[in-house]
Amino acid sequence: MSVRDKFFSFWASFTRHIDGPLMAIVLLLSAVGAVVLFSAVAPDTERFIQQMKSIGIAFVVMWIVANIPPHRLSQIALPLYVVGVLALVAVALFGITVNGSQRWLAIGGFRFQPSELLKLAVPLLLAWYFQKFEARLNFGNFLMALLLIALPAWLIRRQPDLGTALLVAVSGFYVLYLARLPWKAMLLMAATAVPLIWLFAHDYQKQRVLAFLDPGADPLRSGYHTLQASIAIGSGGVTGKGWLHGTQAHLDFLPERHTDFIFAVYSEEFGLVGNLVLLALYAALILRALMIANQASSLFGRLLAGTITLMLFTYTAVNMGMVSGILPVVGVPLPFVSYGGTAMLSLFICIGILMSVQTHRKLVET
Amino acid sequence: MRRHGFRRWLPRRYHNEIRDPARELFLFRKRLWLAGWLMLLMFGALLCRFFYLQVIAHQQYQTQAENNRIAVVPVGPSRGMISDRHGAVLAQSFSAYTLELTPSRIGNLDATLTRLGELVEITPRDLRRFRRAMEESRNFDSLPLRTKLSDEEVARFAVHKYRFPGVDIRARLYRQYPFGETASHVLGYIGRLNDRDIERLTGSGNLLNYKGTDHIGKIGIELSYESALHGIVGFDEVEVDALGRAVRSLTRVPPIPGDHLQLTIDMGLQRLAEQALGTANGAVVAIDPNNGEILAMASMPGFDPNLFVEGIDVASWDRLNTSPDKPLLNRSLRGAYPPGSTVKPFLALAALTSGRRTAENAINDAGYFDLSIGAGKVHRFRDQKNSGHGRVDMHKSIVESCDTYYYILASEIDIDDTARFLSQFDFGQKTGIDLEGEAVGVLASRAWKRERFSGPRYREEHRRWYLGDSVSAGIGQGYNSFTPLQLAHATATLANDGVSFRPHLVKRIIDGTTGQAKELPPEEVRRLELKPAHLTTIKKAMIDVNREGTAARIFKGAPYTSAGKTGTAQVFSLRGEKYIESQIKSHLRDHAWFIVYAPAEKPTIAIAVLVENGGFGARAAAPVARALLDYYLTGKRVAPVPPVGADDSGDWEE
């Protein structure tokens, strides 16, 4: 075997569990993200470098996850969920309070936010649960599933962190949907959820929703973010103002411009053309993920891949929707673009899971 | 199979024990693709939104982004300079560094102030002023803490600037009055714009022009010529960030500086007038009879206008505002006093003009005049000279200031005729001087008295005009009261043979940009119909006042001929008792008047001097006029004649 052959065989085994199209899309998205982030944090480069490091680490983690076969992943679902819920209980008992919310656990010198873990642990657990009872899935299983969603969601809400609680609940709900919860039950759930959310919402959250309904009414307060973001996007026009030339971004008019509102920076500098490109990339990502879910060989793989797809979509659409002013402002980052190491890591774990589901398919089938 | 409870509610397939994997996969895929379509729909909605924002509403958002980005910063014009007729600078603007704080950008204000105090001297007065400014402003304003920093202080702060976010050094325009108290009432002062000013500017539509200005004229020339002095605001278009900080300058429309004013005031004469008044409360107005130019306009005591520019401190304000000497009152413009005997030449002229008297008509003065007030009763009006002046014709009545002559004259002339004649000299009405706040004074007539006592507290007997009122008016007592400006103006009119010019303080307006001077031509008010012979009679008598009459002692040895008239205005009614100066409290003493013009042959200056509670006019007021005339006509500065002791007051009787 020549060196060349050796290299190819090594490369083949190294990339065996990497899904090519998914990898390409994610790389492109990350590249776009890096370009925008550079502009959003300019002239500071520290956070840009930090983000590049996070992406590097996230790639490694993705590779590792992709190499874990789905059935092994399903084995850690229950422990992960139990640890997560216990951690939430620990937060409630002796968590650190910052800005009036008790969300963090201090372990060693690190601060850790268990609620982030649950975003992944809940779909994982539900997929495992439905897989386990696949043969005799009945109404009781759905009730149980609801309980498994409600427990961490309730714990997170009382921190209070309604946004994350909702995302956790929604991810669970996606599993239920894909596991074919009857339409009537889903309608009933939706009908109870809406007033419940409004009841639990803080005044500032309600304010945001109201501001969303009429952003011009109070331009310097609740509606400020939305208004400035709309101005940024709208003034970008068809071709944009050019990289690093967004006035809304660089003169500080855009709030949260390297995190939740980074899409406005992109949109201002690259215009409608840029938006089309970005939207196409996300559409490709979702399409590929849908295909993976469609082809998955086990119920666990199907449910997990499908849920991840829907969550990726949810993050993307909710973020873009809120930045462009067709949805109320909720703290959801734009996948692969917004600054933040934890979010980046969770995203790449999701991509790793998708790759694992896709590439371990044949092994299971045969 | 019967279903019970909620089971009935579920689809049948959930109770099936037999499962169909292919069908389940099919149903899963159905849901998956349904989700796919929904996602596509959402992306479509997003796309529509982007299309709306970036294509349809692009123009509107483009404008909003520009409005965000570009701020128009007003740039205040530099205020015009004020100088005297010879070019001496009386008020000037200069740029100086100020230490300014933006409280909203400072976390711990007290700590910052303490640390700043270690770098730059900050007096308790600065701190008080700053705290007051803070109460009055919105907290995102930049407020001055220390003004007029030295170059060294600027340098010291610059080194440490990074330690003081929200603290900046700015160049601001200041106003300075180099002569301090001299001519303070004429110049007035500028002060910080207050709510009332802003309201007024809004009303007149001038607010925009004050966008970059902190100060506005409050009183005096600074107020009256505000629009000329101020200039026109300029604008800087700057790119700003979200906090409103300027990032870079885009375009600039420079401000147009205010015009300079050259006054008619002669600062040498003005200073001398104030010195000559000394510690007395009083006023001096000197006018050029040939054109109405005001050469000097003094009111004592004065104040330092510099105190007002950046906001006067409470202690100084209290001192100025509550002082019984009223230093803030411009006595020459706003003080109205009974004219006393200074009115006699004008009444004599009235008698000549109306034909009621000739110069030769004489009376025999026994020292009093008895006015019959009906029912056999008489009211006796006494002459200042107990023994009487003997035979008195018009010339002697003026030279010796005989009261009885004028008692009789006044009793024979209708008061309305007198008022009509005197009004031609602008007595009791505004002279039209280019200074705000001119007092009208009182020129009594029947109509005036009716109006004055029209209130419900008064009865018809109060409103009626009595002959006794006329008699009092004959010697300048009673209701009439004139301002020093009115008397100076009237004297100038008399000196100029009845041709009167509007008194004015601004000689030329010099364009702040081009330096082109615009002369303000003298404005003739009216020509009085006076016979030269009558004028000669009066003028001769006034010349003799200074030569052999009541003011002869003061004008002894003057190298020019002058024509004057003394006056003593009663503050306090003695009800028939003899006036003994030493026995009267100082604030109840008579006001001393002196009016004069010179050279008598071709007058170039007319002066009215008033010394409050100065006693006899010749003694207190005439020396001031002499000093001014000597200076103005000979260029000599003569020490004011020392006051004379009370023992020889007999010589000074009028």
Mean pLDDT, residues A155-172 taken together:
88
- Cα–Cα distance for residue pair B594/B564, rounded to 1 Å: 7
Cα–Cα distances in angstroms (integers) from residue B83 to residues A306, B86, B91, B225, B485, in the given order = 88, 8, 7, 13, 21
Class of the CATH domain delimited by B69-95+170-263: alpha beta
C-alpha to C-alpha distance for B494 and B501, rounded to whole angstroms: 11
pLDDT, tens only, B559-614: 999 999 999 888 755 444 455 556 666 667 788 999 999 899 999 999 999 998 88
Evaluate if residue A63 carries a pLDDT over 90.
yes
Yes or no: say if A341 and A267 are a contact pair by the CB < 8 Å rule.
Answer: no
In chain B, which segments carry CATH 3.40.710.10? 270-317+332-652
What pLDDT is attached to residue B648?
Answer: 35
Q: Which residue has the higher pLDDT, A344 or B131?
A: A344
User: Has residue A366 got a pLDDT over 70?
Assistant: no
Q: Which residues contact A256 (CB under 8 A, 6 or more apart)?
A: A225
Low-confidence spans in chain B with pLDDT less than 50: 1-8, 15-17, 574-577, 638-654
CA distance A36 to chain B (A): 18
Distance CA B280, CA B300 (A): 7
Q: Nearest-CA distance from B248 to chain A in Å?
A: 11
Q: What is the pLDDT of residue A343?
A: 87
B38, containing H or E segment: helix B21-51
Enumerate the residues of chain B whose CB falls inside 8 A of the CB of residue A233: 50, 53-54, 61
Task: Reply yes or no on whether B341 is catalytic.
Answer: yes
Residue B65 has its nearest CB partner, among A235, A276, A286, at A235
Which residues neighbour A219 within 8 Å (Cβ) at sequence distance 6 or greater? Answer: A227
State both tokens at B424: 């031609």
- pLDDT of B586: 67
What pLDDT is recorded for position B582?
Answer: 60
Query: Which pLDDT does position A363 carry in this prediction?
Result: 52
Q: What is the pLDDT of residues A305-321, one digit of tens each?
A: 999 999 999 999 999 99
Question: Which pLDDT score is estimated for A173?
Answer: 92
> Which of A236, A283, A290 is closest, CB to CB, to B43?
A283
User: Distance of alpha carbon B138 from its chain centroid, rounded?
Assistant: 30
DSSP SS3 for B380: strand
Residue B3: its pLDDT value, please?
43
- Report CA B329 to chain centroid distance, whole Å: 10
Concatenating the DSSP letter of every residue in B346-357 gives HHHHHHHHHTS-
Question: Does any CB of chain B come closer than 8 Å to the CB of residue A162?
Answer: no
A/B interface, count of CB pairs below 8 Å:
137
In this prediction, residue B1 carries a pLDDT of 42
| Residues 6 or more apart in contact with residue A174 via CB below 8 angstroms | A123, A306, A307, A310, A311
Query: Which tens digits make up the pLDDT trace of A181-234?
Result: 888 888 888 888 888 888 877 777 777 777 666 655 554 445 678 888 999 999
pLDDT of residue B650: 35
pLDDT, position B581: 58
Structure confidence at residue A265 (pLDDT): 95
Could you tell me where the beta strands, DSSP code E, fall in chain A?
A: 96-98, 101-107, 110-112
Report how far residue B273's alpha carbon sits from residue B119's, in angstroms, rounded to the nearest whole number: 45
Q: CA angle A110-A113-A115, nearest 5°?
A: 160
CATH code assigned to B270-317+332-652: 3.40.710.10
Whether the CB of A220 is below 8 Å from some CB of chain B: the reply is no
Q: Say if the Cβ atoms of B65 and A232 lie within 8 Å.
A: yes
- Cβ atoms < 10 Å from Cβ of B586: 10
Spell out the domain ranges in chain A: 20-365
**A139 and chain B in contact, CB less than 8 A:** yes
> How high is the pLDDT of residue B104?
74
Q: What is residue B271's predicted lDDT score, i.e. its pLDDT? A: 93
Whether pLDDT at A365 is above 50: no
Pick from A235, A245, A269, A320 the residue to mutate for testing the B interface (most B CBs within 10 Å): A235
> Rounded distance, CA A89 to CA A91, Å?
5
**Residue A364 has what pLDDT?**
47
For CATH 3.90.1310.10, list the domain ranges present in chain B.
Answer: 69-95+170-263
Residue A215: is the preceding peptide bond cis (ω within 30°)?
A: no
Selected residues 236-265 of chain A with any CB under 8 Å from a CB in chain B: 236-238, 247-248, 251-253
Tell me the average pLDDT of chain A.
Answer: 88
Q: Is the pLDDT of residue A100 over 80?
A: no
- Tell me, yes or no, if A136 comes closer than 8 A to chain B by beta carbon: yes
User: What are the tokens at A257?
Assistant: 């411009």
Catalytic residue among B341, B401, B445, B481: B341
What per-residue confidence (pLDDT) applies to A137?
66
pLDDT, residue B637, reads: 57
Strand partners, B286: B296, B607
Contacts of residue B54 in chain A, CB cutoff 8 Å?
A: 233-234, 236-238, 267, 271-272, 275
Answer yes or no: are the C-beta atoms of A293 and B32 closer than 8 Å.
yes
Query: What pLDDT is attached to residue B439?
Result: 92
pLDDT for B58 = 94
Residue B459 contacts by C-beta under 8 Å, 6 or more apart in sequence?
none
Split at pLDDT 50, 70, 90, the class of A252 is confident
Give the pLDDT mean for A101-107: 78
Q: How many CA atoms lie within 13 Å of A6's alpha carbon, on the beta-carbon side?
A: 3
What is the per-residue pLDDT across B152-194, written as a single tens digit (0 to 9) for each?
888 888 888 778 888 888 777 888 899 989 999 999 999 888 8
Q: What is the pLDDT of residue B652?
A: 39
User: Cβ(B267)–Cβ(B84) under 8 Å?
Assistant: yes
**Chain B residue with Cα closest to A271:** B54
